[in-house]
């Protein structure tokens, strides 16, 4: 069974939702037969690459709330994250464009290190003091290496703005086609969708239902035909 997760590094509920989903997945009896793929979704795709601002400032401008309201929201998110065993800095974080991070995640997918990289990026953005937005590309290279990627591979991707760009945009188009207008968005076997950072119990129910309703393979009766198997290949008939 395949589970696809559309998310953004700048999304705190994606950070929390991933932890809740993984709690459910860890206890799922068929865990070893579940493939998890992370898909790209930018919350702020129109933001220029160098446009970095404090999270509180971004929230007040985008949602028209006061600084006190924005800070209260961050404190609530910090408590939600702590309940899942996650670190979360409620003050002095910043916000910026995540497109390059998504491009690196597609590189990581090719090398089987996607989950490692997204977790490193989440922690760097939400728990560490150093910014993932304002320190330049070498900061992203450093994080890619921490996730097990080669530094030069990461530098090549970041140096070429077209590298994996089409893959990111394809993920985003697909999200729109599936009806995802926010993240996190979980799709199980292209049959069920779960929106938001739901409690682990909801993910457990979704995994169980999706697994139980998988359709067995229907074989068409087309008569016997030569084939190869564990005991060897059939001798060609004359």
- pLDDT (tens digit, 9 = 90+) per residue, 96-111? 999 999 999 999 999 9
pLDDT of residue 57: 97
The CA-to-CA distance between both ends of the chain, in Å, stands at 41
pLDDT of residue 208: 96
What is the value of pTM for the model shown?
Answer: 0.89
Query: pLDDT by residue (tens digit) across 50-84?
Result: 999 999 999 999 999 999 999 999 999 999 999 99
pLDDT of residue 214: 76
Confidence class of residue 24 from pLDDT cuts 50, 70 and 90?
very high
Give mean pLDDT, residues 206-216.
86
Give mean pLDDT, residues 6-21.
98
pLDDT of residue 29: 97
């Amino acid at each position: 069974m395949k589970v696809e997760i559309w998310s953004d590094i700048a999304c705190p509920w994606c950070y929390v939702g991933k932890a809740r989903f993984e709690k459910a997945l860890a206890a799922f009896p068929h865990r070893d037969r579940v493939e998890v793929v992370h898909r790209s979704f930018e919350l702020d795709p129109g933001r220029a690459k160098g446009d970095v601002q404090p999270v509180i400032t971004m929230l007040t401008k985008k949602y028209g709330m006061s600084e006190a309201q924005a800070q209260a929201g961050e404190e609530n998110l910090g408590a939600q994250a702590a309940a899942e065993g996650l670190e979360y800095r409620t003050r002095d974080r910043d916000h910026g464009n995540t497109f390059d991070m998504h491009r690196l995640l597609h590189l990581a997918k090719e090398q089987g290190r996607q989950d490692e990289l997204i977790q490193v990026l989440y922690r760097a953005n939400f728990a560490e003091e150093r910014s993932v937005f304002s320190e330049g590309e070498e900061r992203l290279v450093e994080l890619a290496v921490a996730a097990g990627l080669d530094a030069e591979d990461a530098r090549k991707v970041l140096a070429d703005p077209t590298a994996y760009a089409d893959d990111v945009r394809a993920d985003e188009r697909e999200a729109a086609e599936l009806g995802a207008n926010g993240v996190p968005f979980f799709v199980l076997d292209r049959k069920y969708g779960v929106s938001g950072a739901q409690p682990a119990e909801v993910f457990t129910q979704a995994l169980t239902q999706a697994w139980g309703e998988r359709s067995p393979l229907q074989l068409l009766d087309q008569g016997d035909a030569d084939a190869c198997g564990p005991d060897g290949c059939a001798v060609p008939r004359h």
